[in-house]
Structure 1
Amino acid sequence: MTQETVKQNSSSSIGGKVRDYMALIKFSLSFMVVFSAVISYLIALDSWYWLGAVEFFIAGMLVTGSANAVNQIVEKDTDALMKRTAKRPIPSGRMTAAEGWAFAIITLSVGLIMLATFFNILSAAVALVSWFIYAFMYTPLKKVSSMAVLLGAVPGALPCLIGWAAGADNLGIGGWVLFAIQFFWQFPHFWAIAWISHKDYSTAGFKLLPSTEGPGKFSAIQSIVYSLVLIPIGILPYLAKISGMMSLWIIFAANLFMVWQSIRLYREMEAKAARRVMFSSYIYLPVVYLAMLADKL
């Protein structure tokens, strides 16, 4: 083997390991979660501190990535049964569970230390609670009951409260308003994903749709209901004085858009319509949070 071949194999091995760790933390999902936490942090601040936003983003990615790593360790056997997850590093055998645990413990520890050191103990404590609920309560409950989605929405929304705690050093009304938006947003978002991947999830024994019958009118109605709930909740940032009139109207329009997509799902009852709900929800979150941040600016 030539020296050049050795270098190429080494480079390929390093690149593959990096890709595996990116998959282990579910980078795209983690980024979206931490994005909402960072925006919440910036909204909570009285004056801008962009270096703090970078530090908070890194700490958030470490804690969130750790939770996602534990999720994959716990679900390694069921992940191996599903087409969409079988190629993840642990179920595919490219990474051992022990390596995953070591990574999860180290990233969690560093992330919590950063939050406690650069920000406050409160934000680190809420982050630890969120990590525990997601990793050890929501994850195993997915095989037991569809109530897992309700429980999972708590750690899914707590990043907003973590961001608020880091910026304001309290768990004030503003943080709870942001928590409420993200909490209720998750239901149409996650049910759309569960609708699209119902066959895969059923194979693994996951119970994630609100109806035992799977994709159907009841699940679509629930998506409409929770989208409608977002409309009055969207007024709260204005009432709590964490944003102004401009973002109020943008949030209202975004909420109507979500309701309409959920209604289309009820009318069409197809995976294509569920996919529209899913992608609409991906767009919804950055539009709403950036609107509130722009209003504060």
Structure 2
Amino acid sequence: MQQETVKQTSSFKIASKLQDYKLLIKFNLSFMVVFSAVISYLLAPRVTAYDLTAILILFAGGMLVTGSANAINQIVEKDTDAMMKRTASRPVASGRMSVEEATAFAVISGLGGTLLLWHFNFLTAALAAVSLFIYAFIYTPLKKISAISVLVGAVPGALPCLIGWAAGNDDLSAGGWILFGIQFFWQFPHFWAIAWIAHKDYSKAGFKLLPSGEGQTKYSAIQAIIYSLLLLPVGVLPYFYGMSGIVSLGIVLLANLFMVWQCLRLYREMTVQAARRVMFSSYIYLPVVLLALLIDKVKV
């Protein structure tokens, strides 16, 4: 009986530790980031067949590098995370994981992920290292200084597309930059919607994320509309560049117009519920558009 209790306790500790690491790397966010890298890799013209080994290496390397960046983010922001309801339960902020343990994980995963990505070429590994550095050491501290942090953060947020493209095509040709542009402009309405929803929490922690200094204002909503509109011409470039066909063009237009509509509703209603609809429309947009481009890929 006592032995069984010890086994159950050990199993619970292991499960709790795994859950803490899942929170440390922000698994859902990391998965979305790596998903865009894998799709970009598969969209590269030189990738003509699905190489499962290469996909798994890209996925693993991407998850490790992204996880490292997110771990550093939580180390730096542990005190402010503890002040906010939505982040207080994070492992470092709550004290369940020491700074030393999180730092060791960040170093090992960052180096390990970069070396894994070197399997493709030096360019892929270098882009991953640059992305990690900008996110962890420029964007993270800038969040408390200026709303321009969202612009800075959008760069490492979009670099996974270039990382995937470089892994597949061994270059930074126009197709990779088009995918970078789609993910770059997509981030503004997406993150401003999140910042709108969590405005009180963010303000309490001293984060400046909405474009208006006053926070939830018409100006912030207008900026979300502008960037959702800027996404429109960038989103159709894969068709005109010959990367994908007419079917994906229609899907891209519908997904983009739906997001623009939700941003317009935010401007009219000025509510958290409207911001939540913008956030959900952005969550729908990215996977739908990327998968549509892949399924409708023009073979060269």
TM category (shorter chain) comes to: over 0.9
Identify the residue that residue 59 of structure 1 maps to in structure 2. Answer: 61
In structure 1, the partner of 2:192 is: 191
Give 1:285 shift. 0.3
Q: How many correspondences in the alignment?
A: 296
Structure 1 length-normalised TM: 0.98
Note if 1:182 corresponds to 2:170: no
- Match for 2:88: what amino acid? A
Asked if residue 35 in structure 1 is aligned to residue 23 in structure 2, the reply is no
Deviation of 1:53 after TM superposition, in Å, equals 1.1
Amino acid at match of 2:268: R
User: Are residue 266 (structure 1) and residue 263 (structure 2) matched?
Assistant: no
Please give the per-residue CA displacement for 1:183-212, whole angstroms capped at 9, x wherever unaligned: 000000000000000000000000000001
Q: Which amino acid aligns with 1:19?
A: Q
The match for 1:134 is 135
Structure 2 unmatched ranges of 5 or more: none
Q: Output the amino acid matched with 1:204.
A: A
Whole-Å separation in 2 of the counterparts to 1:230 and 1:257: 12
Counterpart secondary structure, 1:264: helix
Q: Equivalences for 1:16-165 in 2 at 5 Å?
A: 16-44=16-44, 45-48=46-49, 49-117=51-119, 119-165=120-166
Q: 1:285 matched to which residue of 2?
A: 286
Q: Secondary structure at the match of 2:88?
A: coil
CA distance, structure 1, for counterparts of residue 260 and residue 220 of structure 2? 14
- Tell me the CA shift for residue 51 of structure 1: 2.3
Deviation of residue 139 (structure 1)?
A: 0.1
Q: What is aligned with 1:170?
A: 171
Q: 2:7 maps to what in 1?
A: 7
What are the within-5 Å matches in structure 2 for residues 217-296 of structure 1? 217-296=218-297
Q: The residue matched to 1:251 in structure 2 has which SS? A: helix
Give the drift of 1:106.
Answer: 0.6
- Structure 1 residue 224: Cα displacement: 0.5
Per the TM alignment, residue 152 of structure 1 is displaced from its structure 2 partner at its CA by: 0.3
Q: Aligned-pair distance for 1:238?
A: 1.3
In 1, Cα distance between equivalents of 2:173 and 2:139: 26
- Contact 2:162/2:180 (CA < 8 Å) preserved in 1? yes
Identity %: 68
CA-CA distance at 1:95 after TM superposition: 0.4
Q: Segments of 4+ in structure 1 off by > 3 A? A: none
- Cα-to-partner distance string for 1:10-55 (whole Å, 9 max, x where unaligned): 1100000000000000000000111011000010143122321122
Distance in 2, matches of 1:161 and 1:101, equals 27
In angstroms, what is the RMSD of aligned CA positions? 0.9
Q: Which runs of 5+ in 1 are unaligned?
A: none
Q: In structure 2, the residue corresponding to 1:278 is in which secondary structure? A: helix
Is the 2:165–2:176 contact (alpha carbons within 8 Å) kept by the matching residues of 1?
yes
CA offset digits 1:138-165 (Å, max 9, x no partner): 0000000000000000000000000000
**Which whole-Å CA distance do the structure 2 matches of 1:141 and 1:182 have between them?**
21
Cα distance in 1, alignment partners of residues 70 and 243 from structure 2: 31
Any conservation in 1 of the 2:131–2:159 contact (CA below 8 Å)? yes
CA contact (8 A) 2:41 2:47 kept: no
Partners of 2:248 and 2:93 in 1: how far apart? Answer: 44
Contact 2:228–2:260 under 8 Å retained in 1: yes
Partner of 2:96, secondary structure, is coil
Q: Tell me the residue number matched to 1:211.
A: 212
- Which stretch shows the higher mean deviation, 244-253 or 29-38? 244-253
SS of 2:178 mapped into structure 1: helix
CA distance in 1, matches of 2:177, 2:19: 35
Give deviations 1:70-105, integer Å, cap 9, x for gaps.
000000010010011011000111000010010011
CA–CA distance in structure 1, aligned partners of residues 235 and 26 of structure 2: 29
